[in-house]
Structure 1
């Protein structure tokens, strides 16, 4: 029996990264930390139902990573977060931590976030959440860590210093090395690993200098030889991922729309395959745009035409084009948490359905298994899915890191 390594998951979200690692059957979950309740409930449910973790309600700590003393030592009767024995308890119980995984919230590093914020996200506290990740690593001294984030972090300069330099020097000061060439080696497109979606992410592997002799040599081998072994020969397309799900038929009856019913939804044993409500105007727009591609006319495939259409149909101008139809024969565009606000950039390719993605379709494009349930509202589900690490890629990552751990 191969050795299983003990894992702690920080900023866990709904558990996409953790789920992939657990799928390898090579890791034990010691504890996870997440501060948003729907995500916590979803992760606890997944651990209990799929992975048979009986005390998941205790091992998934619902707490704020910034409150470190309580995070480590436990807290009682908190108005928002209840009570917990704290991370130290679960780490001591497990014996040691071999690996810490996670990624601080990416909004402050994302280019889109910086564009929307008048101060370029410079004052956003989320710029420095990595320091709390670092402090947990420093406390438990795992052999390796995995730090996941968006490519926007490469250019983020919250206080005049590149965030990547702050991260590198921070981990270096506590005895860990990361890759020198982050942009060249650590930027990974998960579509190359079987995820039906173009999604680039920064994956930082950190190595404890006490366990690895030549850290840079091992790190280089990881990025150039080990993780690439898990690439697929052919990328999965949108249609391959979601084409077999039951079709939802649009309703154009005004009376139904008054009751907020816009689609006939077939019975489906798979959870969350239900479109959000769309008004008749938007249904017609989706129908038009999908049919434009189906017919081969391709009249609305440039941003100028799409902006003109938006102004014509909606009656207001937009500096960015608001619509995008997913191409059935290609991987999806990047699924993001903005889906919880609207899905106009994720229009289904089938004009007869004239709608945006259901949560289950978004989940499939993120490579979640159909038995992965999301606990909360439809908006919660979209947000969780958009912020997650695709489990299929996480499984590849878990297998690759297992090889690294065998180098000890």
Structure 2
């Protein structure tokens, strides 16, 4: 019987990365850590109903990772209740793989543009330090650290955040690839995810032998191994084209502007006033007919001013194209969907939770039962499970390869 690798997931969210690893059947989840309650509830339900894990509610720890000592050894307080911590879950097991990615808002280019101080004062810049502390405690063979492209250029303290991360991992005795932009920056649309989504995937290997070239192993992994999971680009139509349409009501009622009669989980429209519906129709019809009335950012900024009387430096609207991958699905969808307008002019709306989930490659049996805002947030922050499954298989193979190399080296 094939050995399963024991894994811990940090910053688990609703479990996109974790779900992909679970789909492989090659991992044994020891524990998952997440500090937001809606995400924890969603993840527990997924582990219980999809993977029949009877200990799901015990394994998913709702806690603040910055309190690392308590996270490991247990806590008792008013906010997070009482728990025996990771130590109780891990017990005498060896942790083989530790994965997760700190919240990306502090590193994202969009976040830095919106924040007056470029997110330099945001505590999330340094959540990776808590990640490293857990790594130092459990010493997994492989670590998987995921984040946005903006992490490569983030300089909150005068030093590049990636230099800080590299130094911390090096001090913990882990090798990561020498050029993150060259090797670790991946466009997930090249791996079957129907959206343009660039992410930094950092693989770290524990250095157990001085005479093994772990850098060479990492180069091989990024150059040759990852290329084996690339596939044909998928489009918005591939992702959501078969979902039933949601048409606007002739007469909106209170907080409802669209039919919303679908029984599909998460497939209902947020409220859109008549002004926005007119804009959505005009923009989508323009793309459908190829009239190119709004071919530049300046045109869209001007349209926004004409319709609202407000000025903006960044254009607010973007209609998804049936025949192209979607733009990146962000957590910001919880606030508005103006940059993710449905491509069908007659529907006059932004995308639904289920459509966002489809574009993020969550399967239809992955239930989102929290509020619309919380659901958009957890979907936008997730690693697409389809890619995560592929990555999980490759990480498993890398683990096996390392075992073979190190066994041969010790002879």
TM class, shorter-chain normalised?
Answer: over 0.9
For residue 406 of structure 2, what is the aligned residue in structure 1?
Answer: none
Separation (CA, whole Å) in 2 of partners of 1:38 and 1:196:
26
Q: Does the Cα contact within 8 Å between 2:262 and 2:268 map onto a contact in 1?
A: no
Q: Does the Cα contact within 8 Å between 1:248 and 1:265 map onto a contact in 2?
A: yes
For residue 103 of structure 2, what is the aligned residue in structure 1?
Answer: 105
For residue 379 of structure 1, what is the aligned residue in structure 2?
Answer: 373
- How large is the RMSD of aligned CA atoms in angstroms? 1.1
For residue 214 of structure 1, what is the aligned residue in structure 2?
Answer: 213
Separation (CA, whole Å) in 2 of partners of 1:401 and 1:390:
16
For residue 407 of structure 2, what is the aligned residue in structure 1?
Answer: none
Separation (CA, whole Å) in 2 of partners of 1:17 and 1:211:
29
Structure 1 portions without partners, runs of 5+:
none
Structure 2 portions without partners, runs of 5+:
404-411
TM-superposed deviation, 1:114? 1.4
TM-score after normalising by structure 2: 0.96
For residue 351 of structure 1, what is the aligned residue in structure 2?
Answer: 345
Q: SS of the residue aligned with 2:99?
A: strand
Separation (CA, whole Å) in 1 of partners of 2:97 and 2:357:
26
Separation (CA, whole Å) in 2 of partners of 1:334 and 1:319:
20
Q: How does 1:107-186 map to 2 (within 5 A)?
A: 107-186=105-184
Q: Does the Cα contact within 8 Å between 2:266 and 2:369 map onto a contact in 1?
A: no
Q: How does 1:8-407 map to 2 (within 5 A)?
A: 8-76=8-76, 78-93=77-92, 95-210=93-208, 213-232=212-231, 234-253=232-251, 256-257=252-253, 259-268=254-263, 270-407=264-401
Separation (CA, whole Å) in 2 of partners of 1:401 and 1:249:
44
Separation (CA, whole Å) in 2 of partners of 1:115 and 1:287:
29
Does residue 1:5 correspond to 2:1, yes or no? no
Q: SS of the residue aligned with 1:352?
A: helix
Q: Does the Cα contact within 8 Å between 2:143 and 2:205 map onto a contact in 1?
A: yes
Separation (CA, whole Å) in 2 of partners of 1:328 and 1:302:
19
Separation (CA, whole Å) in 2 of partners of 1:51 and 1:82:
26
Q: How many residues align?
A: 401
Q: Once the two structures are superposed, what CA deviation does each residue of 1:177-203 show, in whole Å capped at 9, x if it has no partner? A: 100010000001111111101100000
Q: Does the Cα contact within 8 Å between 1:262 and 1:278 map onto a contact in 2?
A: yes
Q: Once the two structures are superposed, what CA deviation does each residue of 1:92-135 show, in whole Å capped at 9, x if it has no partner? A: 15x11000000011111111111222222222111110000000
Q: Does the Cα contact within 8 Å between 1:252 and 1:280 map onto a contact in 2?
A: no
Q: Does the Cα contact within 8 Å between 1:290 and 1:325 map onto a contact in 2?
A: yes
Separation (CA, whole Å) in 1 of partners of 2:196 and 2:278:
28
Q: After the TM superposition, list the runs of 4 or more consecutive aligned residues in structure 1 that deviate by more than 4 angstroms.
A: none
TM-superposed deviation, 1:211? 6.4
